[in-house]
A and B are shown apart, each in its own frame.
Chain A
């Protein structure tokens, strides 16, 4: 039985991961702002799911909460950072508030949790950190500069951490989902949309791989190609 912390578990991939992992018999600490959602989740697996109201915009609360969760679950083996926002920036492409929100949730919150977990896991000589990035972070496309950059940040940050602590026994897994049908993507029409449950199943299965993963072979091929297109050509593409 594994003890898993999921930050951002009230909906989407995080919530589905909580369900899948709790069903497998693991202990899951589910964290989110929306406590009523967490209560629903707990009612599905009352013996396995522990719930905590938490706003990633308050990173200073992370160390104490991590200690509390460890105590409640008799340890922590895995941290999954699944919080992320992608506000609609099409109306106001240079609006600072939206961009700052993405930096706060997708970057600052991630650093607060992942650093704290890394400190703990490095000391213990074992543990797994999973960050949910995005294919959006692979290249800087024109539509959402800060969203893309925030995911790109996460990828590089996790890669650096992996290079630092893999040799200490800690696995760092970067997940790069393509479009997934969640609240975040509601109302958007995107190609190759994947159901959230399917995405969560793939992530749950590969969480300890300690590497970068795409959720399908097709995405892997497409983004391998996109990643290697030189910038002067990439600028001319309509993607």
Chain B
């Protein structure tokens, strides 16, 4: 697509197998990587001429089936990766939608800024991250990424470009609607000023669910970040045990720590072992026995070595834990994994999440990793956040366990719905149309349908997930 016009026919030169980050399912489609808005319009035209629907894809970091659609024309926006302007006095960054969180922090850190909200990996791009309206470990105090956006350009299905700001009601639907209404092409976003490239981090082990929630309550009014790991193999008195972290931006100016090179994670561990090989070792442990041991070892080391200690950690090391082991998802091959994260109001969180873990143990399908976070509600159409907590889980998928795993997920979904909880499309693989209808409620569903017919009257924007959830339909 380098400036040439696209041929009218579908060309297998663009045909690819496309997967979500969890690699548990796939679809095949024609993938185009336009580098400017006009090229996106050409691809939309190509789709219409060939009677194909259009799937939007960013960095492909959604875990499930939200970033591919079988037999579609897929628009991958990662080549729209230019930073358009950066104002170090106001901290306002303007960029194309394919710019990643990594591109952003590398661009602004030396000027004393950091993205206001970051995910556990630095590779999502702005378009995808806003489609899902992602959150970070500071959701309870800073909200979602969308809450820091000042302006976006969006292309509708007819290729018409509109500029939206938070003063427009539609802004709150385009952001969060998983690319089903329009294509975000440009973003203006407010960066957060920081004095140092390091955070102060407090680690404290929790012996059970009660202690977990007490720690969050203790720090929720006086911290900048909170996150806790939960050992899903813990049962009885040890159920809910894990390791809690709170972190704070530093108040004293430390220009040295703001240098990019101070942030980069080392490529070797213990000084000699290449981290790029680490997933192969991880794979050996990627089973119930192995993970029971890993979780136990982590708990024991957390509750002895690092317990109740304040230490400094770089912003990158604290924020992007998922990037610490390159290609870690390969440990779950060949079946892949699903990430499962649900959001429950605070008064029900302990009951629902502890029951979710019990259900996993009854099914012998314990999550290999459990992560607890604190959240606050927001005004976005497909908002996942509540005044409460979320619990994120990783489940290995195999040919044998697939059916049982989905059944378990449905049981856990029911608990969430009963408690008035919510879901998150970036991490969903298991929801059913009725779950979504109940999560959003009739008013939001009607609002979505009205906007869909306005922005995408022919229903060309779709994903495998949106078809599964009844948010879009295959044309007959």
A residues at B contact (CB < 8 Å): 67, 70-71, 74-75, 119-120, 123-126
Contacts and interface: CB of A to CB of B under 8 A. Distances in A.
Contact of A124 (B17, B51, B52): B17
B70 A120 contact: no
Contact of A71 (B13, B16, B27, B71): B71
Contacts of B17: 124-126
Nearest to B27: A75
Contacts of B13: 123
A124 B13 CA distance: 10
Nearest to A3: B70
17 contacts: A71-B51, A71-B52, A71-B71, A74-B70, A74-B71, A75-B27, A75-B28, A119-B12, A120-B12, A120-B15, A123-B12, A123-B13, A123-B16, A124-B15, A125-B16, A125-B17, A126-B17
A75 B28 CA distance: 7
A70 B50 CA distance: 13
A70 B69 CA distance: 12
A124 to B, nearest CB: 5
A70 B16 contact: no
A70 B71 contact: yes
Interface in B149-168: none
Contact of B10 (A67, A75, A124, A125): A67
Interface band, chain B: 10 to 19
Given A71-B52, A123-B15, A124-B16, 11 more contacts: A67-B10, A70-B71, A71-B51, A75-B28, A75-B70, A75-B71, A120-B12, A120-B15, A124-B15, A124-B17, A125-B16
**For the complex of A and B, 7 pairs with smallest distance between CB atoms:** A123-B15, A74-B70, A124-B17, A123-B12, A75-B70, A124-B28, A119-B12
Nearest to B11: A123
Nearest to A77: B28
Interface string B337-378: 000000000000000000000000000000000000000000
A71 B50 CA distance: 11
Nearest to B13: A123
A195 to B, nearest CB: 31
Contacts of A71: 51-52, 71
A124 B51 CA distance: 21
Contacts of B70: 74-75
A119 B14 CA distance: 11
A225 B13 CA distance: 44
Contacts of A119: 12
Nearest to A76: B28
Nearest to B70: A74
Given A124-B17, A125-B17, A74 B12 contact: no
Contacts of B51: 71
Contacts of B12: 119-120, 123
B225 to A, nearest CB: 40
B15 A74 contact: no
A225 B43 CA distance: 57
